């Protein structure tokens, strides 16, 4: 693997598990086994590395979501499967939550470079639900349930509210 890929791979793990602020450039350089000059050849700053991480995380996360929901029999099943995906990710990632929201809580409010990537990810998720459920109000309601499930399941280390949300969604969609 080339140095840039090693840096991103290590960042993918460290930022997601430890957080943005708790992960230092020196730790990434050491664990990726690259020279400091090599790091700065590919990334001008930790902020630029974070943007690259979030872009990679976005692709990974949506690829996993789409793979998880591809066999849903109909649109209703696809929405429910999206919530099952959260249960799957919680098990896989030990209730670590949303990397985008975790980083949002760590950056200064004026960091528009990172904020724009986070907003883009959330806009894509909102569009994903709107594509499935064409009623914008219902779609937004599902999106908000989905987002709150991510946060609540991380907070309580439980999938209980995800299961409750699936029941709520059934009543929303069937109306």
Instruction: Specify the residue for token string 């949002």.
Output: 104
C-alpha–C-alpha distance, residues 128 and 89, integer Å: 18
Q: What are phi and psi of 34, to 5 degrees?
A: -130, 160
| CB-facing half-sphere around the CA of 93: CA atoms within 13 A | 23
pLDDT at residue 41, rounded to an integer: 96
| CB-facing half-sphere around the CA of 171: CA atoms within 13 A | 4
Domain with CATH 1.10.10.60 in the chain: 1-43
Instruction: Evaluate if pTM is beyond 0.85.
Output: yes
> Which three-class secondary structure state does DSSP give residue 24?
coil
Domain with CATH 1.10.357 in the chain: 51-174
- The domain 51-174 is classified under which CATH number: 2.30.38, 3.30.1120, 1.10.357, 3.30.70? 1.10.357
Tokens, residue 171: 């009543």
Tens digit of pLDDT per residue, the chain (175 long)? Answer: 899 999 999 999 999 889 999 999 999 999 999 999 999 999 999 999 999 999 999 999 999 999 999 999 998 899 999 999 999 999 999 999 999 999 999 999 999 999 999 999 999 999 999 999 999 999 999 999 999 999 999 999 999 999 999 999 988 886 5
C-alpha–C-alpha distance, residues 106 and 97, integer Å: 14
Q: What's the CATH fold of domain 1-43?
A: Arc Repressor Mutant, subunit A (1.10.10)
Q: 83, 165 in Cβ contact below 8 A?
A: yes
pLDDT at residue 156, rounded to an integer: 98
pLDDT at residue 115, rounded to an integer: 98
pLDDT at residue 175, rounded to an integer: 58
pLDDT at residue 174, rounded to an integer: 66
């Amino acid at each position: 693997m080339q140095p840039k890929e090693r840096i991103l791979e290590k960042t993918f793990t460290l930022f997601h598990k430890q957080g943005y602020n708790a992960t230092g450039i020196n730790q990434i350089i050491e664990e990726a086994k690259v020279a400091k000059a090599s790091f700065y050849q590919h990334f001008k700053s930790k902020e630029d590395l974070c943007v690259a991480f979030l872009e990679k995380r976005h692709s990974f996360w949506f690829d996993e979501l789409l793979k998880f929901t591809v066999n849903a029999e109909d649109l209703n099943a696809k929405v429910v499967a999206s919530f099952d995906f959260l249960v799957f990710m919680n098990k896989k990632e030990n209730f670590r939550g949303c990397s985008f929201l975790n980083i949002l809580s760590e950056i200064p409010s004026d960091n528009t470079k990172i904020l724009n990537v986070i907003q883009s990810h959330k806009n894509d998720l909102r569009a994903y639900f709107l594509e499935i459920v064409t009623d914008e109000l219902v779609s937004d309601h599902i999106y908000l349930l989905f987002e709150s499930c991510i946060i609540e399941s991380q907070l309580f280390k439980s999938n209980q509210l995800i299961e409750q949300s699936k029941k709520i969604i059934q009543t929303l969609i069937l109306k």
